[in-house]
């Protein structure tokens, strides 16, 4: 997927919820101005170790309340973050806030299937899975609808 994205060398790219840095291994990261954030200091430490000789800026930060100025990034990569943050809407609003006016957000996540109701079994186990850190019932369409006027 990342080979299809027209990243330019002067553009600023933000990875929200970088985790251990697996997504960074999929691009030629040395060509870009990359900032990567994660809420977990342990995950961030793993990512930093993998890329310790790179120019990537790693910051411990809450994706629901980012410490960046408005319109700071050309691209935002949100990989498996919206299904794990406590408030996906707040996270989305923050990504929109720090995105430049002509910027792009790339979202890779686990959402409930479009135009389908969550099965009874999934409804039953959803609270338990949420405790483990992911919400299998979030709807991209609903999230988009809540934020489309900002986009």
pLDDT tens readout for residues 30-89:
889 999 999 999 999 999 999 999 999 999 999 999 999 999 999 999 988 888 888 889
Of the pLDDT bands very low, low, confident and very high (cuts 50, 70, 90), residue 91 is very high
Does a structural domain hold residue 37? Answer: yes
What three-state secondary structure class fits 78?
Answer: strand
Q: In the numeric block, which tokens belong to residue 127? A: 């609270």
- Domain holding 58, by residue range, is 2-111+140-147
Question: Is the pTM higher than 0.85?
Answer: no
Does a structural domain hold residue 65? Answer: yes
Does a structural domain hold residue 119? Answer: no
Does a structural domain hold residue 122? Answer: no
Residues in the chain: 151
The set of residues, in sequence order, having a beta carbon less than 8 Å from that of 77 and lying 6+ positions away, is 13, 14, 15, 16, 23, 106, 108
Task: Inform me whether the pLDDT recorded for 125 exceeds 90.
Answer: no
How many domains does one find in the chain? 1
CATH number of the domain at 33, please: 3.40.50.150
Of the pLDDT bands very low, low, confident and very high (cuts 50, 70, 90), residue 139 is low
């Amino acid at each position: 997927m990342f080979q299809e994205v027209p990243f330019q060398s002067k553009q600023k790219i933000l990875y929200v919820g970088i985790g251990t840095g697996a997504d960074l291994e999929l691009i030629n990261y040395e060509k870009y101005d990359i900032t990567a954030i994660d809420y977990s200091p342990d995950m961030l430490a793993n990512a930093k170790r993998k890329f310790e000789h790179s120019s990537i800026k790693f910051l411990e930060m809450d994706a629901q309340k980012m410490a960046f100025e408005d319109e700071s990034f050309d691209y935002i990569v949100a990989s498996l973050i919206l299904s794990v943050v406590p408030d996906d809407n707040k996270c989305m609003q923050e990504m929109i806030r720090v995105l430049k006016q002509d910027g792009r957000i790339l979202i890779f996540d686990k959402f409930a299937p479009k135009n389908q109701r969550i099965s009874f079994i999934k409804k039953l186990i959803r609270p338990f899975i949420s405790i483990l850190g992911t919400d299998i019932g979030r709807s991209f369409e609903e999230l988009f609808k809540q934020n489309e006027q900002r986009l």
